Structures are given as C-alpha cells and as structure tokens.
Amino acid sequence: MRPGNRLNALLALFASFATAPSAAMTTLHTEKSLYRNILVYEEDGQRCMSFTRRDQTSRQSCQSLADPEQFVFTYTRMMMGALYLNPHPRQILIVGLGGGVLPTALARMLPDARIDVVEIDPAVVKVARQFFGFNPDQRVQVFEEDGRVFVKRAGKSGRRYDLIMLDAFDHQYIPEHLLTQEFLSEVKALLTADGVLAANTFSTSRLYHHESTTYQAVFGPFYNLRVKLKNRIVLTRLDGLPARDAIAANATALEEKLKLLGFGADWLLPLFSTERDWNPDARILTDQYSPSNLLNAAD
C-alpha cells in the first residue's frame, strides 16, 4: 500500500472510532415529534436529551444519575445568576423546557413562586416528565404553544412577571422569531418594575454581535456572562442594573441553596461583566431582518 493510501486508511479508521457510539451508551427513548427528533440516553453517569444526535453540541438537557439535583450544564448555573438581581421573584416565566432543570430547581428554591413554562413541543413535555423528574403542579404550569404567541397573549391580558428566562432552542439555534427587537420588546412589556430578564445565547454564534446590539437596544446595559465554552447569558433588570455590592449581598444570601445545585458565588460572581465585547455597529435583528439561516449558530 502506498504511503498516501495508508495514511488515508488510518485516518478513516480513526474517524470511525471517533464517531461510533460508545459501548457504554444506553438508549432509553427515541421519538420523531412534529418539531424534532428526540433521543434520551444514558452515558458517563448522566441521562441526557438530544434533539439531533448524541454529541456535546446537541444535548438539550442532562441530569446526573448520582445526584439529579446538581446542575450538569454551565449555562443553567449562569441562568441562576438572575437571582442575584432579584432573589425573591414571585411570578416566573420560562420559555423553553428541555428536561425541566430550571423550573424544577426554582420551584424547590422558591416555594412561594408561581412558574409558567412555555414549550412548543408536547413530546418534550412528555419526555421531561417521564425521564427527568419534571412534575408540574398548581405552582408550575406548562403551556404547550409557541413562545412568541404566549408572550403576545400574556401582554394583552396584562400578565406580569418578576423573572423571565428565555431558553428556547431547536436543533440548530434559537428560533429566529425569538431573536428580534420586536419580540424582546414584547418580553420587556411583561416585566414588573424591578423584573429581571435572563436569556441563554451562544458566545460562538455568528449572531453574537447582532444579538448583543439587539438586547442593548431594548433593555439598555446588561450583565454579559461568558465562559470559554459556547454559552453566553444576558442578565438585566428593568429598573437598572444593581450595584456590585448589592449583587454580592444577594449572592451571600443564596449561597447555601445554590451549593445544593453544585456551584456557588466563588464561581458565578466573577462572570458578571458589563464590558462590551461586540461590535456596536452590528445591525439590530428585527422581524424584517433576522437572517439566522445565514448567520446561524457556532463557527
């Protein structure tokens, strides 16, 4: 065999090993819903939900089998930083369910809070209940509809929330109609006077600069939480960002509860930054200009 052919054969063999399913992986459930392909599997001590394939980039939710209450994903930990801006929300809206990690943790931490969860895919709701211990009740209600439709109706009915979390993803990225200035303005109208917004986005997205200018246009300054991996969390409060000492005081008060989730202020507080690391001239995303199919997802 020629050297070039031998090298190609070795590369092909390595690729087959790299992409082959792990022998330790156990598939629990597969389903093709109206919106996506859903896979639930166990591997490396975790139970995960994926919307496309079994890899790190497509996992929508994961749960530790040894300690289901501890957060597996970095982004869910960062989303809980919203409580540093308002530690006692009474009315909470979460757009996007996944495995139900966020509403389950918030319901446990905040026994007086009422939580509305919006999820477009009934199959995801079913899987979250069956495989991830998500149990809606009188305090946690699920609405199976499009997030933007829910927000529009909630605005017309005068509903208001102390905390809104945006965490809706399909198999590629955030649906484009949930990225625009018009949608974020509708979300803003649902916030109480000191209401807090937390939004999960990607720091590696080609939309990063556009998303940043869009959030700033609607909400003004925000805390921009980033890690070396791909997630970025936008945190802001309607009546203005609290000072660092107020955030630190809230962090201290919440420390015991967050430690039960597997992290604390020593990890989370240093991520709070108002430094602008995006192009301020990037075009704002609107209902007329939201080319997520061209500028989409990770590089």
Amino acid at 260: L
Catalytic residues: 167
User: For residues 17 and 21, what is the distance between their CA atoms, to the nearest angstrom?
Assistant: 8
Amino acid at 22: S
Q: Which sign does the torsion angle of CA 171, 176, 180, 184 carry?
A: negative
Q: At what angle do helices 181-188 and 208-219 cross, to 10 degrees?
A: 40
Other beta carbons within 10 Å of 221: 13
The three-class DSSP label of residue 114 is strand
* Structural tokens at position 264: 């604390």
User: For residues 106 and 83, what is the distance between their CA atoms, to the nearest angstrom?
Assistant: 10
* Structural tokens at position 62: 């994961």
Smallest CA-to-CA distance from 201 within 83, 78, 36, 48 is with: 78
The one-character DSSP state at 46 is E
Identify the bridge partners of residue 224 per DSSP, sorted by sequence position: 234
Residue whose tokens read 């925000």: 222
User: For residues 148 and 180, what is the distance between their CA atoms, to the nearest angstrom?
Assistant: 11
- CA 140, distance to chain mean position in Å, is 18
- CA 25, distance to chain mean position in Å, is 25
User: For residues 200 and 74, what is the distance between their CA atoms, to the nearest angstrom?
Assistant: 11
